[in-house]
Structure 1
Amino acid sequence: MTPSPGTGDTKRERRDAAREKARITREAEAKRRRRNKWFAQGGLVLGTLAVIGVIALVITRSLVPAGPGPLNMASDGLVLSGDGTTVSAASTDALAADATPTASAAGTAEKPSIVVYLDYMCPYCGQFDTTNAEQLATWVSQGSVDLEIHPLGFLDNASLGTKYSTRSANAFACVANYQPEAALDVNTALFAQQPAENTSGLTDDELITLVQGAGADDSSIPACITDGEFTDWVASATERALNDPLPNSDEAKVTGTPTVLVNGQKYGGSLTDATVFAQFVSEVASGESTADTSTGGAESTASPTP
């Protein structure tokens, strides 16, 4: 019997409506799945790009070379000599980034070479310099010896995070680069105002005041100190000193500071008696001594760790 008008859809119409509803539901579900798949793929791509970006950044930074060294320190040290009245520094080009240093000339019996590897935070270095600064300055000024100063930065972790060893070594390098004739007085002043280990050390402004007070008043030095112009070189020079053979000697590397070499022979005597060191220099120059193995104290490079 045919349903009368207004009583509802026919069976076919209800079936067709159900099929249409199912079709719409299937298409919506298919769109949802495609959308989720796209988001997942997109997220994967973005994540991959992010990882690639980080890797690229690390690689790029690792490929950035260390900064060039200061003028007049192609050996990683500054060589000071005198003509009887004044002290001057040997003039050399700046050491290119990651280049191999050029060793200075070896000392002779007539004019011994005194080479000092030091850290401006090291108390034993301070003892050695305080004891011997005056006679070293006299010997150098008279032209009796050449003095080669190698500033290191291995005691950075003994300055409460301020990296004073590196900053003070950089300050010395700034003087060597811009006003090397003042370097010996600056070296003495850095030890005269040496901070104790495990303190923050001098600020950059205080380092500027210190070097200016010691006669290094070139207008380029303050910015060199505050900008850390040679801190990369300090790190490289320190790494070389702690791992490579020391030129003109039988020493395999620096194992403690101060490391003091006289014509390549390591001094191990008193750090607080100038006459003992003077006698050692005299004996080495005359060929009477091969080494001094007595203990005088030294800051080990093994503790604190560089």
Structure 2
Amino acid sequence: MSPETPSDDSRSGDESRSSDKSRNSSVRAAAREKARQLRSTQQKRERRNRWLLSGGIVLGVLAVVAIVAVVIVSAIRPTVPGPKNMASDGVVVGSGLKVKTTTALASDAKPVASTPDPSGSTVDIRIYADYLCKLCGDFQRTNLQQLEPLVKDGAVTVEMHPVAIYTSHSAGTKYSLRAANAAACVANYDPDAFWTFNSSLFEKQPAEGGPGLSDDVLKKRAAASGAKSIGEIDSCIDDGRFKTWVMTASDRALSGPIPNSDVKKMTNALLVLVNGKPYTGSLTDADAFKAFVLQAQGDEYSSTATPTPTPTAAP
């Protein structure tokens, strides 16, 4: 064998070392790639966290700004007074179907209860009613027609108190609140149309649980009732100008006490008082209510009549 010729064992060792180097190189390359992927993933995570943090800060700042804006707007929003001609939270309709005029009260003012006829010659009827309430509709459709000539002649005064107790019973449209607001708008801008407008909302009353009448229909009812200040009334209905007042007045009726009566508070959507006494009879029998009115009138007359002097014996 020539000295320059490598042996088989030598060649085998060289091949083994070359193979080891190749494997080590592959392992190192794989490790570098894995490290690169880990660094890339970490960088992406850090960028995402920075974005979320900055986004959260921005959202937080925006939320604070929104809250501050609401507080500022609420603070500078002008207070809205109650409607004119409803200082008692109701509309007093008397002789000739004319409404007793009163000034608008400040938004934080307490209502001023109306004063019944101290002589007892005029029957005082007060009706608290929700325009969506079916029982309220039953009573008004049954009795307003027979009351109308008595009111015209001055024998009876009727004080209407629109309340919004069924606001959540109209498929989300808040009809009770909108209708009571519309009634307040009519009382404020065209009070002599109030009696007819109030009656019209019960003559064609929407069903409980339904959406009620739209604002456009309420405006048409006001016009059909003879209201002449249509522009102001339409704008008042669109703006919901007296909604806050309606809710406050309704809360007062529900919490009580009810003025000029022994009734502590409203317990449902209808309350009818005749000379301060609650009517609990039939809502669909006109004769039953008429008899109650006559009885209340007789009781009032008996309590206010001047006693006849007892004759004295001649000396």
| Structure 1 and Structure 2 fold alike (TM over 0.5) | yes
Among residues 216, 231, 252, which one is paired with 2:243 in the alignment? 231
State the match for 2:138 in structure 1.
Answer: 127
C-alpha deviation, 1:128, in angstroms: 0.2
Show the counterpart of 2:99.
89
Structure 1 residues 52 and 248, CA, compared in 2 at 3 Å: closer, same or farther? same
One-letter amino acid of the counterpart of residue 200, structure 2: A
Tell me whether 1:287 sits opposite 2:299 in the alignment. Answer: yes
SS at match of 2:125: strand
| 1:199 maps to which of 202, 210, 220 | 210
2:278 counterpart residue number:
266
Aligned Cα root-mean-square deviation (Å)? 2.7
Tell me the secondary structure at the aligned position of residue 172 of structure 1: helix
SS at match of 2:144: helix
Secondary structure in 1 aligned to 2:126? strand
Partner residue of 2:269? 257
Q: Which residue of 2 aligns with 1:146?
A: 157
Alpha-carbon shift at residue 106 of structure 1 (Å): 2.5
Q: Which residue does 1:69 correspond to in 2? A: 82
1:140, CA displacement in angstroms?
0.7
Q: Distance in 2 between matches of 1:148 and 1:56?
A: 43
Moved over 6 A (4+): 41-48
Matched to 1:155, the amino acid is Y
- The one-character-per-residue Cα deviations of 1:37-69 (angstroms, maximum 9, x if unpaired) are xx9x99998777556545545655666676321
- 1:102 aligned to which of 112, 133, 137: 112
Deviates more, 1:62-71 or 1:113-122: 62-71
Spell out, residue by residue over 1:165-219, the C-alpha distance to the aligned partner (whole angstroms, 9 max, x if none). 0111111111101111111111110101110011111111111111211212323
- The AA in structure 1 aligned to 2:104 is A
Shift of 1:107: 4.3
Question: TM (normalized to structure 1)?
Answer: 0.74
The residue type paired with residue 271 of structure 1 is L
Query: Relative to total residues, which structure has the larger helix share, 1 or 2?
Result: 2
Relative distance call for 1:271 and 1:61 in structure 2 (3 A) is: farther
Of 243-252 and 217-226, deviating more is: 217-226
Total equivalences in the alignment: 252
Does residue 1:175 correspond to 2:186, yes or no? yes
How far, CA to CA, are the matches of 1:60 and 1:261 in structure 2? 44
Letter in 1 for 2:91: L
Work out the percentage of aligned pairs sharing the same amino acid.
44
Segments of 5+ residues of structure 1 without an aligned counterpart are: 1-38, 290-306
For 1:184, which of 195, 212, 225 is the aligned residue?
Answer: 195
Structure 1 pair 45–222 and aligned structure 2 pair: CA distance change class (3 A): closer
Cα-to-partner distance string for 1:234-282 (whole Å, 9 max, x where unaligned) = 1111111111200001111111122001111111011001111111111
**Partner letter of residue 70 of structure 1?**
P
In the TM superposition, residue 223 of structure 1 has moved relative to its aligned partner by: 1.4
Question: What amino acid is the match of 2:153?
Answer: Q
* Matched residue SS, 1:183: helix
Check whether the contact 2:87–2:102 (CA below 8 A) recurs between aligned residues: yes
Q: C-alpha separation between the residues in 1 aligned to 2:281 and 2:109?
A: 34
Question: 2:253 — aligned with what?
Answer: 241
Output the amino acid matched with 2:239: D
2: distance between equivalents of 1:110 and 1:252? 26
The one-letter code sitting in structure 1 at the alignment partner of 2:236 is: C
Conserved 8 A contact 2:166-2:269: no
1:133 Cα offset (Å): 1.1
Mapped partners of 1:76, 1:98: distance in 2: 13
Mapped to 1, the partners of 2:128 and 2:73 lie a distance apart of 30
Q: For residues 65 and 245 of structure 1, what CA distance do their matches in structure 2 show?
A: 29
For 1:114, give the aligned amino acid: I
Greater gyration radius: 2
| Contact 1:107/1:263, CA 8 A, preserved across alignment | no
